[in-house]
Amino acid sequence: MLILSLLWAVLGLLIGALANAAKLRPATWGRGGRLVMLGLGALVALLGGWLGTWMFGALFATATALWIAVLGVALLSRLITWCNAWLHSWSAVPIKT
C-alpha cells in the first residue's frame, strides 16, 4: 500500500501541474498558489486513493484517485476562493457607532 500511496501522490502532483498549466488556479492566490495547487492535487489524490481502496478494493483505487483528484483540484480551488471571499465580506461590514 505504500507504493500505491506514492503512486497516488505523484498522480496528484501531475494533476495539480496540469491544473496550473490550464490556468485553473485562482488569480487571488498569487505566485504561491502554484504550490498550493500541487499540494491540493496530491492531498486529494491520496484521499481518493484510500477512499477507493476502502470502497472498491485495490484494483479500482488508482482510477478512483485519478477522478477524485481531477474533480477536487477543479472544484476545491473555486470553493476555497468563494469561502474566502464570503468570509471577508462578513468582516468588511463597517461597525456603526
pLDDT at 35: 93
Beta-carbon contacts of 79 under 8 Å, excluding residues fewer than 6 positions away, are none
Question: What is the C-alpha to C-alpha distance for residues 81 and 67, in angstroms, rounded to an integer?
Answer: 22
pLDDT in tens, 16-55: 999 999 988 888 888 888 899 999 999 999 999 999 999 9
Question: What is the C-alpha to C-alpha distance for residues 8 and 60, in angstroms, rounded to an integer?
Answer: 12
| Mean pLDDT, residues 5-14 | 94
pLDDT in tens, 65-91: 999 999 999 999 889 888 888 887 776
The pTM for the full model equals 0.83
Q: Taking all residues of the chain, what is their mean pLDDT, rounded to a whole number?
A: 89
